[in-house]
Amino acid sequence: MALVRLVVFGFLVLSVVYLSIAFYSRSVRREKLEEEWDANPPADASAEDRDAFIKTGLIEYHNGFRAKLIWLVYIIPTCLVAGIVYFTNY
């Protein structure tokens, strides 16, 4: 019963952490894309071109490896708990 409670609450807490980090990482990525565009905008570019550039960049980020790294938020604590259980009891 205590194990169930740990799993449920652990999952909830880690989900909050996951969502926060995902939001933060996306926000940083977006800021970088905006800066990249604004530093050297093409001569005859419109606001739509800028939005399209940022959107493509974000989709690229979303499908890339860095966004998937955030799953480590779930994996590392699980491994840590498993490690502590092993080293404390064996």
Partner 1 sequence: MRNIRRVVRIVVILFMGLLLHYALPQRDIARVTSTEIIRTDFSSINRIFYAQADAGAEEQPTRDLRLINTVRKTTYLFGMMRGRDQVMVFRNEDTGWIWPPYFKFDSSDLQAEATDSVSSKDDPEWVAITHYGWRVRYLSIFPNAIAIKPIDGPDVRLIPWFNIFFFVFLIAAFLFLRAMWMQFRERTLDPLGDAANDRYDRVSADIGERRGRVRRWLDTWRSK
Which residues sit at the interface with partner 1, rule CB under 8 A? 2-3, 5-6, 20-21, 23-24, 27-28, 30-31, 81, 84-85, 88-89
For residues 42 and 75, which CB has a smaller minimum distance to partner 1 in the complex?
A: 75
Q: Answer for the pair 77, 14: CB distance below 8 angstroms, yes or no.
A: yes
Beta-carbon contacts of residue 77 (< 8 Å; ≥ 6 apart): 10, 14
39 CB-contact burial (10 Å; exposed 0-12 / middle 13-18 / buried 19+): exposed
Nearer to partner 1, 30 or 53 (CB): 30
Q: How far is the CB of 73 from partner 1 (least distance, A)?
A: 12
The minimum distance between CB 1 and partner 1, in angstroms, equals 9
Q: Which is nearer to partner 1, 53 or 73 (CB)?
A: 73
Write out the two tokens for 17: 């952490």
The two tokens of residue 85 are 């259980």
